[in-house]
Amino acid sequence: MKPVLRRLCVTILAAVALAGCGSSAVLDGSSLPPTSSPAAVASARPETPTPSVAPSASTGATQSDTAWGRIWDSLPSSFPAVPGGTASEEGATGASSAVYTFQGQSSKDVAALMQRLLSGAGYSTLGLTGPLENGGYVVDMAGQPQGCKVQANVAPTGSVTTLTILYAAACPHD
């Protein structure tokens, strides 16, 4: 088996195994003040995306298919701003709606920040998995209209914590 395929298989198996070990509790984010300023983000996901498709006629934004589902390739302007996060493609491992990096912030704190930001924007928590074996977290949220969902994958990579956001194609986009 090729090393890349073997690594993908191991990653997927580990994610499935760890999903059963995760928690659906809400992170309190007590160690991250509301105005904290983390830096840049990226996240590793065990999915293999397909190339972007033609732009939407109404928005001009493109979409991609991932193992998680069809996503927008960018976030709408109405998406909550991520304070302290620096937009980045460093560490990106596939299609995403956005990737941010944070300097000196823990994965738990960044996951709690995303959960708090999305809750404040009217999204509800579907699930929280973590800490994962790599120290990361996955936050799944639902919004309106029905079928609109967001996934925030948070993973530590040295002194940088990466955040990859998947914004479902069922969600509104400007």
Q: Is residue 174 part of a domain?
A: no
Distance, in Å, from the CA atom of 46 to the CA atom of 66, rounded to the nearest integer, reads 10
Global model pTM greater than 0.75: no
Q: Which domain holds residue 38?
A: 3-168
Asked whether residue 80 is domain-assigned, the answer is yes
Note whether residue 173 is domain-resident.
no
Residues of the chain with pLDDT under 50: 1-26, 28-57
* pLDDT of 169: 97
* Longest CA–CA separation in the chain, Å: 47
**Confidence at residue 102, expressed as pLDDT on a 0 to 100 scale:** 95
Decide if 45 contacts 94 (C-beta within 8 A): yes
Number of structural domains in the chain = 1
Dihedral of CA atoms 58, 164, 95, 146 in degrees, nearest 10, equals -50
With respect to residue 160, please indicate whether it lies within any of the assigned structural domains. yes
Task: Return the pLDDT at 151.
Answer: 98
Helix count and strand count (H, E) for the chain: 2, 8
Mean of all residue pLDDT scores within the chain:
75
